């Protein structure tokens, strides 16, 4: 159990590395899922394109949503977006930075799926088999003898070697090679474009907007750390509250038992004569409560934290201009104290 606790604490302290590892695992899983997936083209003119579009787009959407769900910052972003401004205004640039950071990681697995699908070529072959230029690749002199529905029905069977019977019009190997060549070209182009886009976003963009980038990065980290510290403080308070509540319950039960056996031969010590160590421990737990000793006060504190977070101005009792993010404004006068030490 201690080993699992140490691993969990390590992952919490290195959340960014942990999320990068999760995204890498999802990318490898998406490629493995496609290799294990049994692609069965319906080989029907009205269904080939729909089936291929579903295979190409539906799994990436699922992987993208799964990447967002596995990211712990999704709830933090939603909370920061929907919370009332209160004494701390919301900065749209920080929200955009948080969403972009999550979206970049969540898009890794969908991009791998699309790239692997295009490089494999089965999906593209199934979708565009009816668009093969028969006059160029096959026996174009026989094509005018078929009506467009008959020609489409014949070409739709190209992905299915067991039922394709149109070699007299177009050799199946020629059509497969032609469509797979185009699919692989599109796949490598997609990989190149996504790589260049990632390079621009990660490397070039901060060079032009360095000040805004640093500000958004700093305050997004602050929101994350503030939430973690608030959760840790609430957990510590809940533990102290539960411990004091249980101690009071046992003390009350002990008092009732002492009253019931007051006339017995084995009378216990009078109520209130607790051990010094127990009294010191109870006093220490009460100090951790910070004066919040009932459910109603705690509920009001939590509601106040959500509705009106404190302004981001340390040492200021009242917010300036009603904006917790903004600076400026007069500062209170500083008090200087001089201390003289005389050596005798």
- Residue 67 has what pLDDT? 86
Asked if the structure places residue 150 within a domain, the reply is yes
Q: For residue 183, which of 108, 110, 109, 123 has the smallest C-alpha distance?
A: 123
Cα→Cα distances 270→250, 255, 257, 273, 277, Å: 15, 8, 11, 6, 17
State the average pLDDT over residues 199-214. Answer: 78
pLDDT at 1 over 70: no
Domain, as residue range, for 116: 19-209
pLDDT for the residue 117: 93
Domain assignment of residue 255, yes or no: no
The verdict on residue 307 lying in a domain is no
**Does residue 96 fall inside a structural domain?**
yes
Using CA atoms, how far residue 181 sits from 175, 184, 257, 322, in Å, is: 10, 5, 87, 62
Residue 152 lies in a domain: yes
d(CA 95, CA 219): 10
- Does 282 map to a domain? no
Domains held by the chain: number: 1
pLDDT tens per residue across span 236-253: 988 988 888 888 888 888
Residue 236 in any domain: the answer is no
Mean pLDDT of the chain: 78
Residue 31 forms part of a structural domain: yes
């Amino acid at each position: 159990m201690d080993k699992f606790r140490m691993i969990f604490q390590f992952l919490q302290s290195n959340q960014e590395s942990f999320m990068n590892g999760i995204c890498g695992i999802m990318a490898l899983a998406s490629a493995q899922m496609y290799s294990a997936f049994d692609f069965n083209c319906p080989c029907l003119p009205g269904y080939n394109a729909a089936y291929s579009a579903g295979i190409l787009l539906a799994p990436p959407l699922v992987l993208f949503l799964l990447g967002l769900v596995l990211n712990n910052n999704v709830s933090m972003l939603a909370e920061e977006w929907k919370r009332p401004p209160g004494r701390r205004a919301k900065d749209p640039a920080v929200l955009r930075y948080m969403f972009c950071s999550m979206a970049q990681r969540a898009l890794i697995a969908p991009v791998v799926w699309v790239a692997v699908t295009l490089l494999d070529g089965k999906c593209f072959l199934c979708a565009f088999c009816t668009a093969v230029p028969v006059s160029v690749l096959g026996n174009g002199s026989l094509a005018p003898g078929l009506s467009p529905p008959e020609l489409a029905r014949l070409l739709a069977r190209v992905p299915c070697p067991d039922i394709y019977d149109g070699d007299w019009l177009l050799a199946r190997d020629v059509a497969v090679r032609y469509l797979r060549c185009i699919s692989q070209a599109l796949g490598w182009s997609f990989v190149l474009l996504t790589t260049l886009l990632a390079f621009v976003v990660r490397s070039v963009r901060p060079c032009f907007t360095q000040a805004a980038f640093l500000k958004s990065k700093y305050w997004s980290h602050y929101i994350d750390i503030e939430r973690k510290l608030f959760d840790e403080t609430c957990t510590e308070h809940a533990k102290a509250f539960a411990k004091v509540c249980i101690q009071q319950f046992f003390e009350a039960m002990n008092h009732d038992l002492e009253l019931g056996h007051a006339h017995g031969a084995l009378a216990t010590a009078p109520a209130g004569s607790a051990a010094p160590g127990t009294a010191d421990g109870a006093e220490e737990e009460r100090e951790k409560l910070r004066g919040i000793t009932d459910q109603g006060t705690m509920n009001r504190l939590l509601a106040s934290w959500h509705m009106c977070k404190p302004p981001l101005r340390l040492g200021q009792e009242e917010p300036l201009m009603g904006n917790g993010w903004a600076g400026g404004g007069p500062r209170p006068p500083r008090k200087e104290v001089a201390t003289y030490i005389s050596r005798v």
